[in-house]
Amino acid sequence: MEHKAVATSAAAHPAAMKRLAIEREVISAMQKPGLLYWALVGLFATGFAVFLLGAWGIQIAKGIGLGGQLNPVGWGIYIVNFVFWVGIAHSGTLISAVLFLFRSKFRASFNRAAEAMTVIAVMCAGMYPLIHLGRVWYAFWLFPYPNQRLLWTNFKSPLEWDVFAISTYLTISVVFFYVGLIPDFAIVKRYTRGVSRHIYSVLSLGWVGSKRQWRNYNMLYALLAGLATPLVLSVHSVVSWDFAMGIVPGWHTTIFAPYFVAGAIFSGCAMVLTLCIPMRKIQRLENVMPIEHFEKLAKTMLFTSMIVGYAYTIEFLLAYYSGNVYEFGIFKDRATGYYKFQYWGMVFCNMIVPLPLFIKKLRRNLKWLFVTSIFVNIGMWLERFVIIITSLAHEYVPYAWGTYQPRGVEISIMIGTFCFFFMMFLLFAKFLPVVAITEKKEEVQ
Amino acid sequence: MIKRIVDSAVFGYFALMMVLILLLGFRWHTHRKAPVQPIAFSHATHAGKLNLQCLFCHDTADKSYYAGVPSVQKCMSCHQAVKTEMPEIQKLTKYWNDKEPVPWERVHRIRIRNHVYFSHKRHIAAGADCEHCHGALRAMTQVRQVKSMKMGFCVSCHEANHAPTDCLICHM
Amino acid sequence: MDRREFLGLLGLASGASLLAGCDLTRKTEKLIPYLVPPEDGVLPGEATFVATSCTECPAQCGMTARIRDGRPVKVDGLPKHPINDGALCVRGQSSLSRLYSVDRIRQPMVKDAGGNLVPATWADALKRSADALRAGRENVLLSGRTTGSLSALMSDFATRTGVRREPEFELFSYAAVRAANRAIFGADVVPLLHPDRADVVITVGADVVETFGNPVQFSTLLSKRRGSHGRNTWFHVEPHASMTGFQADHRFVVRPGSEAYLLAYLLQGLSGKVGLPGGVAAQIASVPAVSAQQAEEKTGLTTSQIDELRHALLVAESPLLVAGSVSTAQESGLDTARLAALIQSACGMHGKTLDFAQAQDYSRVGTMADVERLMGQLDAGTVGALILFDTDPVAQLPMGDKFGASIDKAAFAIGVSDMLTPTMERCDVVLPLSHTLESWGDAEPASGVVNAIQPAIAPLFDTRSNGDVLLSLMIELGAAAAGTTYQQYVYDRWTRDLGAGAGAAMLKQGWGTGPAKAAGGSAGAAGHTFTFAQSTAPSGQVLVIAPSVRWYDGRSAVLPLLQEVPDPLSAVTWDSWVSVGMETCKAMGIEESSVVELRGEGWSVPLTVRPQPGLAKDVFVVQRGAANPAVGWARSGGEANAVVAITAAATGRKERLSEVSGSLYQEGRGIVPGTHPEHFNGDHSGHGEPKHEEVSFYPLPKYPNYRWAMAVDLDKCIGCNACVAACYVENNIPMVGREQHLRGREMAWIRLEQYYEKDGSAGHFVPTMCQHCDFAPCEPVCPVYATYHNDEGLNAQVYNRCVGTRYCGNNCPYKQRRFNYFSYEHRPYPMNLMTNPDVSMRGKGMMEKCTMCVQRIRKARDVAKDEKRTIREGDLTTACAQACPGKAIVFGNLLDENSEVHKWAHDSRSNRILEELGTSPGVYYLSDNHVKGNGSHGA
Amino acid sequence: MDFLSQHIIAPSGQHLKLLEFLAIVVYTIHLPYVGLVIGSTAVAMWLTFSDHEIPNPRFARLAEDLLRTFLGSRFQMLVLGVLPLLALPFLYGIWFDGVPYAPITYIMLPVPGILIGYVLLWLYRSSFVGRKNSFNRHMGLGTLALMVMMGSYFVLLSSVVRLQDPEKWYRLKNLVILLLNWNVIYKFLFFVHAAFAITGVGILFFLFRWSDRPTTGDPDYAAFVRKFGAGLALAFTFALPVFNLLYVFTSPDVVFDSTVYLIAVANVFVCMLVAFMMLATLRSPGPRFTSLAFVSILGVFILSSVFDVRAMANANREHATLLEQAAEKERLEREAGIDQAIAAASGANLGEETFNKVCMQCHRFNEKLVGPPLAQRLPSYNLESLKAFIANPTKKSPDYPPMPNPGLSAVQIDAVSKYVLENYKTGGAPAAGGAATGTAPAPGAADTTQTQPGVQH
């Protein structure tokens, strides 16, 4: 019945016709999932259960020592992954919030996917600080709450800042994500029947699209965007301070905050591409995700890649210039020492690989973009590895130097998080409109 | 049909609640109930009625960090003559004759994992009252743990009496 | 009440007081009271001390055991003891873990039909042995070195039961040295060395701070001439690289087997000296002439070096020269020893820097010749029952397996030991020994000094003290009245030798002065033909089997603690390795952790390589106990051969060594105080006052009463690791084993960082622990205040508040924080008895580190409060400071103007490690006097 | 509350039991009524509001009925609402004689608040009729009344609940600390939900069973009321066990013994009964077991108050025993006083009695028991030194255990010292007599009376 109503109204105006087309396209991407889809979801779900939950359980029972951490290197790839995922999360907020404030059009194609990615990635990131704790069953001590012990937490500690940064970030991005979805839920509702219809209608909070609702909605959305934007800078700066606040040579530098933020956006864009390019293909969203928008994304990536590259070089310069034996020692070791492969791998992936994007043809070539994005993801992971591990491995006292290799449980948990990430994203892709329908419609004149 | 489902659901819910409370209660019941001692020794009689001083039996409380359980010999020093006809005292005499120590049940146990050091000596030297922590022993026929002995309990008393609250004072 | 019974009761009561305060080691429900309260002065939960003697090695220092809850939880040197003066070496500190070792024999054992040892009763075991002894053929008793009453009892045993007592077996028998002393000074002893009286010390091969003579005594005396007392010059001549060598001011590396040439050359320089004893002059004359360049090319030293040495010896007021260890344990060893003795006599060291009156009595100890003779008899089958009394030749002898085979030839072998050593495995009956801390007895560390040995705990297992074992054998044989106890025997002997009532005094003081042996006069005995000119010194690749500071002659390698504590030179913990010089490594194309095959005639052993700076080319060093190649023994001297020609071949295999050092060099960082670039302004003196505080933005820490601080005098530190072992025992530090060491997770709270110069010219040993910084980087980063700074300057760690983020560990520039990666709380019986109840066992997932022995501070405060005063200097010291044989560590209150630590901290040599970071550490290091500023910061 | 403690003589065991019983009674009378009042007011306000938004005669009518029925007369308010309150301080004042009074102080605090609350309620009720033209005033009054009542009862309940946690008393420096406590909060939530539940059941009971039935003769209004009441009751009865559980969970461990948690279980059980009754009522055409339901819901209140009182008693078990001992002691002292009077008058044998009662446990005159024979020791004592020794014994000889402090009053010490000092020479003949026949007037007694003045002057 609604169908007909829409149809007739559409028949009247061609613009309405276009809008309807968009609507249909996005909705059709949500039609009944096939067997393959469920198989994939199941696969990832089991992966999550076995690799992450299972391994973590064993680690809690046996002790953190199952990992590869040792005396100089107290933080293994758990923290690497933590920073990596927080980084991924960033572009979500960037694309949706910042670009929204800048009124840049191309965001509409990605923002939904990006936001979803943000939420999921923050979840992944949030797990790691817990996983890496020696006594996770006392993790609640990290939160300041009145207790019979009359104890308080140490607000001087960067880790404490982290607790707040991450939780804030999760809250904001979830709210932002959901608010963005409300009108679309209302649309999706119209196309569904039975129980799911009920669910969607509840989720849409009785959205009817009246003028008043739209006015309030836009106001709220703008406000949230305004709230979220500073987080893009603040959260990852705080994360970078986890390291910059330490006196570990290789960590203790002022360029970390901007350097990390740029890196975060860089990796975030890469991950968006990695996710959206296949999605576009599979769910046939060619019209709602035009190639130009991918190109714009590629440009952002190229730009940030160069910022990061600059940071890499300047670090060396500073270390050399400082004449500080510890500082320069660590950088020499990065380039030539035990971890040189990781280091040069990082340089290759993050500095060299993106360079061809200067060529317009390649920017517009989705296959090329996809490969590049994969490389960048790997490169950014390596960057975190290099920053965290190598610095700790070669600190002040030579007697206490050591080498770290990740061990079974750590790898397994890492795989587990990726399973979790893809599982969640698959669910998102089928059960929520992957593109902001209403905004797309607005584009139509 | 619906009716039956609803009824059983309601019943299930309440039943669950009852079971939970029972479990809770049971847990606490076992947790803090006064343990059954091998000899029904009454503090009410000795500390209360006879008004024996705590240090009379727990004689190392003011000398060592350990309050000291009175030696069987000490019990016998009086009970070789006093109330020898009572069955409980005869139990005691039996232990003494078998040259076995009395296996008292612990009442106040500081839990294993909490890495604290507590010195009875220092607290008595500071003029702390035994019963402030151990409850009104003069009134207990069967000793039980009255105070939680949690950290908050210690800290607030330390603060109240301007005792040091540096972690290392107790923790190690 | 008899003491044993009392101890029994204490043992029983231990349960009680353990639970009483706060039992952190064991959960338990029962509250066990005393049956009868112990005698006055013993309070449950308060420590008592028992004075006894250490028997981990033949030096037998005076030892005191701290008893908590009826079990010894810590051993330390006996204060004011004439030999070791309150210090104890790494072996002594670890000897407690022998008492509580899980490998101890727990009851008598006898061989069953199948030929494997099975548990048995004492009655059975004794009966079998007695029957064997009665069997008629000649019975032989072979024991390790014994002194005092035990030795006397053994002679009684021999005479009464007709058992022939063989010369005692010690791998380090000092045979050559003794022979020389017998010849030159007419005393078959190892004299006490007096570095404190010497202005020039020359040690040829003798590892005087590791195993030679009494290393603890040497270090203690040496420290009198170190640090701020000015310093004597010390030359060390050795073919290999030893810890002792790196302690000396000048370390001369000579070609193996060429020491004799050097000494002979030196001796010639002395021949002009007037007033030499006649005999000596004659002897000197008989020494084959050695020209300067002959000496040079043989020894491989430079002219300047030799001249420096010669000059030093000539001008010295009262020199001290001693040769021994690897230098005498070789073919030309006897010559070396004799030459050394001649020089000693010529320079008149006798009675001045060499004290023969207070010497170690080795007269009953045989040489390798005796061992071989015994093997001959055994093989001939003339021996009936062979009693192997607390000795382990099979494991220690170079030809151990051959000896083992000979044991089997004996009709019956009776083993007496505390652990199931290879020797014991070949015995038909094994009688378990109690540990010294469970026994009565005495020991004679040096003539004239007698240590009491008294039980600190009732025997853990069904074992008997060494004396009681002998007595029970005698009783079984009817050679002694039933019911005689060793305790009584010892008492009587004391009363006889030391006068009536001496027993009580002994037990109280722990030692007594016995009848001193007559100091051997200068005998200048008959001539001796020096053969070193003819004897062929090994050339090409040479293997040096050096004594181990951790394992002595290998006997202590069974103690897990001594495996966990790293070797001071190589930082290797749980593995066997061969040290190889850098040049050799380059030449052979091998490196760290590659396996080489060492081949001699008739034997070959694969070992993992550990590069060792300062080691000469083609010299390979293996420590006793790490490997035992069948290298035979030096005919001339009669000591087990320590220097042999070998051929080494790289196998190409690689095996990771469990070692705890990240780098052997400072990598240009000037960690070692006095070698930091900042301090290279001509003089290498530090600056007493902390620098950064004046310019700090942060409020300076306020310390109302105390600022606990520590000062380490690197000039006195000899790098022996005793502090490490002491810390392990005092603070219940878990022994995590090889696996975890390979993963870099050692738990030591204090460690001995060794840094070599790239050219191997010098080695520095820096004991480092948590520096308790005023501005500790670990503190602000902990999210839950598990670590914080208390108002006594301690960097506190609250274990049960720790959630295990490990950020503090990351942020500690000194890397002194240790994380419990697994749960190490639960130790197997009887190891769990070793836990010190004053210190809690840290649980899984907690960070831990040096607490500056906060439990001792707490105890001291307790006492002080009772006396209504503040803690005074001398009320307490930390375990490491207490153990240090060099007296190199002091601990105390920095705010107290006249405290030792305050004086040291404001000494001109005082530095603090990584001070430029602004951490303002609470541990001060007094730089080593002989560290020259120039370029010794490696790289 | 200190002024109380001056007028209090230590209560004996039975006395305390009585006090506990009284407390239960008070709660049983008071709390259900308060519950009804608060609940009905809230419901009435909601109904009025909805009626005001979208006019709905049923709502208006029900609201009116509620107000008329439940807020009742001033007399009700006074008897059920106020008087019981005033009893509480006295009950607890006696019970907790000689302990830090923190919680009890707070018990007094809400009383004025509650009084104001009733006044407001009264105003609210009377303004119901004229609500059409002064709606805001009407609702405002209601809201204010509710807030005041709720607040006051929050304080009251929390202070009563806190009586179960003596360990924390000296920490209760101010109201905030008193109120910021999970145990307290759950208790209050439990109470509120119980209030609405009883209101629900009450609607059924009072509008269908109670004297004048407003529901008669209007079937669909009756149906509406039935559904409304039953629904309300059902909903809140469901919530009750949850808060019960949380309350039990957060109570300090000391309060527990088997009875206490069985009571908690019983409480849930009763809730279940009510729930099923309400279900039945919803399903059936007409109201069913309304009175039974009302009685059971009362049971909920009774049980929970029994729980609290038992818990309080458990937590302060030792304190009670101390009080009993104090009472005992007072009694003894009174008697001692009498004895002394008699002694002063006719020189009776307080000394001898005390000796027989206390000292004879360990001492005889000339045989060795736990303590040494007095005949052998006493020559070394004079009256003063003996008194000093008895007042504060110290270890004298190695062969005997140290003498514990017998804890006698000065009078007794004086008497018993005189007694033994005079009698041990005579081989304790009277002592033997005393030992045999407690208070038989000993032959020596006369002499002692004569000698006594001699001793004094």
How many whole angstroms separate alpha carbon A404 and alpha carbon A408? Answer: 13
Give the integer Cα–Cα distance in Å for A216 and A219. Answer: 5
Chains C and A touch, contact meaning at least 3 pairs of CB atoms under 8 angstroms apart:
yes
Does the pLDDT value for residue D122 go beyond 50? yes
Q: Model pTM? A: 0.84
The pLDDT > 90 percentage for chain B reads 8
Interface probe with B: pick from A148, A152, A154, most Cβ of B within 10 Å: A148
C742 touches chain B (CB under 8 A): no
- Please write the tens of the pLDDT for every residue from A415-432: 999 999 999 999 998 888
pLDDT at residue A145 greater than cutoff 70? yes
CA distance C206 to C324: 4
Helix (H), strand (E), coil (C) string for chain A = CHHHHHHHHHHHCHHHHHHHHHHHHHHHCCCCCCHHHHHHHHHHHHHHHHHHHHHHHHHHHHCHHHCCCCCCCCCCHHHHHHHHHHHHHHHHHHHHHHHHHCCCCCHHHHHHHHHHHHHHHHHHHHHHHHHCCCCHHHHHHHCCCCCCCCCCCCCCCHHHHHHHHHHHHHHHHHHHHHHHHHHHHHHHHHHCCHHHHHHHHHHCCCCCCCHHHHHHHHHHHHHHHHHHHHHHHHHHHHHHHHHHCCCCCCCCCCCHHHHHHHHHHHHHHHHHHHHHHHHHHHCCCCCCCCHHHHHHHHHHHHHHHHHHHHHHHHHHHHHHHHCCHHHHHHHHHHHHCCCHHHHHHHHHHHHHCCHHHHCHHHHCCHHHHHHHHHHHHHHHHHHHHHHHHHHHHCCCCHHHCCCCCCCHHHHHHHHHHHHHHHHHHHHHHHHCCCCCHHHHHHHCC
Which of C429-443, D81-95, D443-457 reaches the highest mean pLDDT? C429-443
Measured between CB atoms, does A53 come within 8 Å of chain C?
no
pLDDT of residue D456: 38
Reference C817, options C791, C782, C790; nearest CA is C782
pLDDT at C574 over 70: yes
Mutate: best of C661, C803, C820, C824, partner A, most A CBs <10 A: C803
Q: What percent of chain C has pLDDT over 70?
A: 89
Q: Which subunits have 3 or more CB–CB pairs within 8 Å of chain A?
A: B, C
- Residues of chain B contacting residue D283, judged by C-beta atoms under 8 Å apart: 3
- Whole-number percent of chain C with pLDDT over 90: 29
| CA A377 – CA A363 distance, rounded (Å) | 17
Instruction: Over range D2-11, report the average pLDDT.
Output: 60
Write out chain C residues lying below 8 Å of A65, CB-based.
740, 743, 745, 821-822
Mean residue pLDDT of chain D comes to 81
CB contact under 8 A, A147 and B152: yes
**C39 pLDDT band (50/70/90 cuts)?**
low
Helices (H), B58-119: 72-79, 87-97
User: Which amino acid would we find at residue A45?
Assistant: A
- Among the residue ranges A356-370, C121-135, C487-501, C568-582, the one predicted with the least confidence is C487-501
Please say if the pLDDT value at position B28 is more than 60.
yes
Name C96's Cβ contacts closer than 8 Å, sequence gap at least 6. Answer: C65, C72, C73, C74, C75, C437, C729, C834
Residue of B25, B56, B80 lying closest to D248 (CB–CB) = B25
Q: Each residue of C357-405: pLDDT tens digit?
A: 888 888 888 888 888 889 888 888 888 889 999 999 898 888 888 888 8
pLDDT value at position C683?
39
pLDDT, one tens digit per residue, over D220-233 is: 888 888 889 999 99
Q: Which of B76, B115, B119 to mutate to test the interface with C (most CBs of C within 10 A)?
A: B115
Query: Could you tell me which chain B residue has the CA closest to the CA of C795?
Result: B168
Chain centroid, CA B77 distance in Å: 25
Q: Which of residues 147-206 of A touch B (CB under 8 A)?
A: 147-150
Structure-block tokens of residue D276: 């099923």
Looking at B29-43, C889-903, D4-18, D171-185, which range is the least confident one? D4-18
Instruction: List chain B residues with CB under 8 Å of D369.
Output: 81
Examine the pLDDT at D105 and tell me if it is beyond 60.
yes
CB D318 within 8 A of CB B146: yes
Residue B30 confidence (pLDDT): 63
Judge whether residue D32 has pLDDT over 50.
yes
pLDDT tens column, A178-236? 998 998 888 888 888 878 888 888 888 878 888 888 888 989 988 998 888 888 888 88
Contact A288, A436 (CB under 8 A): no
Per-residue model confidence (pLDDT) at position D384 = 83
Indicate the pLDDT class of residue C527, thresholds 50, 70 and 90: low
Answer yes or no: are the C-beta atoms of A366 and A294 closer than 8 Å.
yes
Distance CA D164, CA C722 (A): 57
pLDDT at B63 over 60: yes
Across chain C, mean pLDDT equals: 84
Q: How confident is the model at residue B83 (pLDDT cuts 50, 70, 90)?
A: confident
Task: Report the b/e string of C319-357 with b at 16+ CB within 10 A.
Answer: bbbbbbbbbbbbbbbbbbbbbbbbbbbbbbbbebbbbbb
Q: Do chains D and C touch (3 or more CB pairs under 8 A)?
A: no
Looking at residue C690, what is its pLDDT?
A: 45
Distance of alpha carbon C433 from alpha carbon C104, whole angstroms: 9
Between β-strands C441-446 and C200-204, what pairing exists: parallel, antiparallel or unpaired? unpaired
pLDDT digits (tens, 9 = 90+) for C632-641: 777 777 888 8
- The Cα–Cα gap between C753 and C89 comes to 18
Residues C755-770 have a mean pLDDT of 89
Residues of chain B in Cβ contact (below 8 Å) with chain C: 60, 63-74, 99-106, 109-110, 112-119, 121-122, 125, 166-168, 171-172
C907 pLDDT more than 90: no
CB-CB under 8 Å, A154 with C780: yes
Helices A211-244/A77-93 angle, 10° precision:
150
Summarised one tens digit per residue, pLDDT across range C813-871 is 999 999 999 998 888 888 888 888 888 888 899 999 999 999 999 999 999 999 999 99
Q: Give C 840-869 residues with CB within 8 A of chain B.
A: 840, 842-843, 851, 854-855, 858, 862, 865-866
* 3 state DSSP class of C389: strand
pLDDT at residue B81 tops 80: no
Q: Looking at the predicted structure, is the pLDDT value of residue D445 above 70?
A: no
Q: Are A399 and C818 a contacting pair at CB < 8 A?
A: no
Q: What share of chain D is helix, strand, coil (3-state, %, to 5)?
A: 80, 0, 20
**Statement: residue B21 has pLDDT above 90:** no
**Between B and D, how many CB-CB pairs are < 8 A?**
120
Query: Given 3-state DSSP classes, what are the helix, strand and coil percentages for chain B, each rounded to the nearest 5?
Result: 55, 0, 45
Chain centre distance of CA B38 = 15
Q: Which two tokens stand for residue C440?
A: 């009565």
D10 has a pLDDT exceeding 80: no
Q: Which residues of C touch A73 (CB under 8 A)?
A: 810
Question: What ipTM was predicted for this assembly?
Answer: 0.80
DSSP states along D391-412: HS-----TTSPPPPP----HHH
Is B150's CB within 8 Å of A148's CB? yes
D contacts of B22 (beta carbons < 8 Å): 261, 265
Give the minimum alpha-carbon distance from B152 to chain A in angstroms, rounded to a whole number. Answer: 4
Cβ pair D228, D278 in contact under 8 A:
no
CA distance readout (Å), A220 to A213, A223, A336, C378: 10, 5, 53, 101
- Tell me the mean pLDDT in the region C478-500: 85
Residue B29 has pLDDT above 70, yes or no: no
- In whole angstroms, give the CA distance from residue C720 to residue C718: 6
The verdict on A61 touching C (C-beta cutoff 8 Å) is no
Tell me: the pLDDT tens digits for D35-87? 999 999 999 999 998 888 778 888 888 898 888 888 777 788 888 888 888 88
B127 has a chain A CB within 8 A of its CB: no
Alpha carbon distance C32, C19 (integer Å): 9
- CB-nearest partner of B106 from C30, C798, C799: C30
**Is B32 an interface residue toward D (CB < 8 Å)?**
yes
Say how many C-beta atoms besides its own lie within 10 A of residue D115's C-beta. 16
Residue in C12, C33, C843 closest to B102 by CB: C33
CA of C740 vs chain A CAs: smallest distance (Å)? 9
- The arithmetic mean of pLDDT across residues B34-59, rounded, is 84
pLDDT over threshold 60, residue C4? no
What's residue C787's pLDDT? Answer: 92
CB spacing of D401 vs B22 below 8 angstroms: no
pLDDT of amino acid D5: 53
For C41-60, the pLDDT digits (tens) are 667 778 888 889 999 988 88
Quick: pLDDT tens for C601-660: 888 889 999 999 989 888 999 998 888 777 777 777 788 888 888 888 888 899 999 989
| Cα–Cα distance for residue pair C571/C556, rounded to 1 Å | 17
Measured CA to CA, the distance from residue C748 to residue C733 in angstroms comes to 7
* Cβ contact, residue pair A398, C667, below 8 Å: yes
* Residue C768 pLDDT class (50, 70, 90 cuts): very high
Please answer yes or no on whether B166 and C790 come within 8 Å at the CB atom: yes
Are A149 and B151 a contacting pair at CB < 8 A? yes
CB A351 within 8 A of CB A312: yes
Distance CA C585, CA C579 (A): 10
User: Cβ distance C9 to C38 under 8 Å?
Assistant: yes
Residue in C36, C44, C839 closest to B60 by CB = C44
